[in-house]
Chains A and B, each alone.
Chain A
Amino acid sequence: AQSVTQPDIHITVSEGASLELRCNYSYGATPYLFWYVQSPGQGLQLLLKYFSGDTLVQGIKGFEAEFKRSQSSFNLRKPSVHWSDAAEYFCAVGDIDYKLSFGAGTTVTVRA
């Protein structure tokens, strides 16, 4: 069975600074990888996904993520955060039977 670990429970970053959220997965085959964002009181919104091909994927809102098979990682990055990026971020891995396994999430706080 697949599993996802997000080592950082909470990250605080200054507005305009760069952001990197870590995600490690455990899955025997080629993974389908996702990052979702959840703003307060909202559902989850897909930021980006990786299935195959270029290991650097671009998403919405200026986010990108890099798949590194050797490290079983799929870290999310943004060069310059905005106050509106304060939210909870979830990494997820999917298998061929449509089951998405989510990490516990990382809460991002943006300070002025």
Chain B
Amino acid sequence: ETGVTQTPRHLVMGMTNKKSLKCEQHLGHNAMYWYKQSAKKPLELMFVYNFKEQTENNSVPSRFSPECPNSSHLFLHLHTLQPEDSALYLCASSQEPGPITEAFFGQGTRLTVV
């Protein structure tokens, strides 16, 4: 248990569906991240939020829409996804943005787009 909780753990959705992934941390961290982990590929940083403000959008398609209502919660809203978007989506948090502070990862949401 790392203190970062992601729900749901598994999600199957059609290409026309709209769904949301949720991430929650009660570690008192100020920075939160979304990563995409595809099979046999390096983790890809998608979004970074620092004090609820988005500070990084790593050229992510608009069908992925993040939301950070407060420093403890992070959402990833999904709509009109493609089969190639199937992956493990990992949320992480750290005390502040930066490589010096340790990032704590959630267990991920395994997403399958059919």
Contacts and interface: CB of A to CB of B under 8 A. Distances in A.
B90 A43 contact: yes
Interface of A: 4, 9, 32, 34, 36, 41-46, 49, 51, 90, 92, 94-96, 98-105
Q: Point out which of B41, B99, B100, B108 has the most chain A C-beta atoms below 10 A from its C-beta.
A: B99
Contacts of B48: 98
**Chain B interface residue number, banded:** 20 to 34
Q: Give the dominant DSSP class at B's interface.
A: loop
A94 B99 CA distance: 5
B97 interface: yes
B98 interface: yes
Given A4-B42, A98-B48, A99-B56, A44 B99 contact: no
B103 A46 contact: yes
A96 B99 contact: yes
